[in-house]
Amino acid sequence: MNSQQDHTIRGIVLDWAGTIVDFGSLAPMGAFVELFARHQIEITIAEARVPMGLPKIDHIAALGNMPTIAAQWQAQKGRPFNDSDAQQLLSEFEPMSAKAALDRSDFIPGFMTAYHALQAQGLAFATTTGYTRKIMTPLIEIAQAQGFAPALVVCCDDVVRSRPDPMGMQACLQAMGLQGKASQVIKVDDTAPGLAEGLAAGAWTVGVAVSGNALGWTHEHWLQASEQDQAHAKTNASALLLAAGAHEVIDSVADLPDAIARIEQRMASGETP
């Protein structure tokens, strides 16, 4: 490998909701609120967002153990929230979430343009997600029909240990033919656990601020907001992603080519992930 290749990004591992589909990462939120409402438990969208990026079983468990939610569960059921409750809720959540994900399966504006351009440059693509295989299967089919065909889609229940563990990333590296070359790969994500799996694998990380969970707005809300409101919201979202270890932060995946160029400059100056 020559020195120029050493300073080149060769692979991209993408998250799904909030990163390449579902602007604002809204599909899981409504499903979580509805899920707990079925059990007479009130949760807010803000509460539902806190564990975002974790595998869905862990997300449900984290919600069930939040003090305000745990207290409601104890009052309703007469006992503490437990692991079997989380499993039962997951079985209820999957069909609800699959429908919500399909309803919000449109690609983030500009994603396919960036994807085709980077693919033409020879970059490999793979994906990981906190969604289960049951939720993802129809979403993958829709994406493929629109021309998005990553080397691998790793769902949270495809691996023994999902994010923030790097097991899913390692599977992606292998599928892209980049084993042992994580320092030439970027993980793109809108959540802390998703960025953490990239960092744990030794990859560069890029956070998406505007389209993702950290901001949580629809595309329409973003376009209609004042410049001042946009700037304030973006600053807060970016701070969360930087605090989670993102090497670069972009508005959305449409800006990925710019982030790659900046990271390659950092690589050329001797920086590593």
Q: Which residues are catalytic?
A: 15, 56
Kindly state the DSSP code that residue 21 receives in the 8-state scheme.
Answer: B
List of residues 6+ apart from 235 with CB closer than 8 A: none
Whole-number Å distance between alpha carbons of 167 and 156? 10
Asked if residue 194 lies in contact with residue 212, where contact means CB atoms within 8 angstroms, the answer is: no
Token pair in block for residue 60: 């449900």
Sign, Cα dihedral of 88, 91, 94, 99: negative
User: Rounded to an integer, what distance in angstroms lies between the CA atom of residue 14 and that of residue 246?
Assistant: 14
Spatial separation of the C-alpha atoms in residues 31 and 101, rounded to whole Å: 9
* Coil vs helix vs strand at 20: coil
CA of 220: how far to CAs of 23, 37, 119, 150, 215, in Å? 10, 27, 29, 28, 13
Kind of pairing between the strands at 11-14 and 124-128: parallel
Q: What span, in angstroms and rounded, lies between the C-alpha atoms of 197 and 54?
A: 10
Which residues 6+ apart lie within 8 Å of 261 measured at CB? none
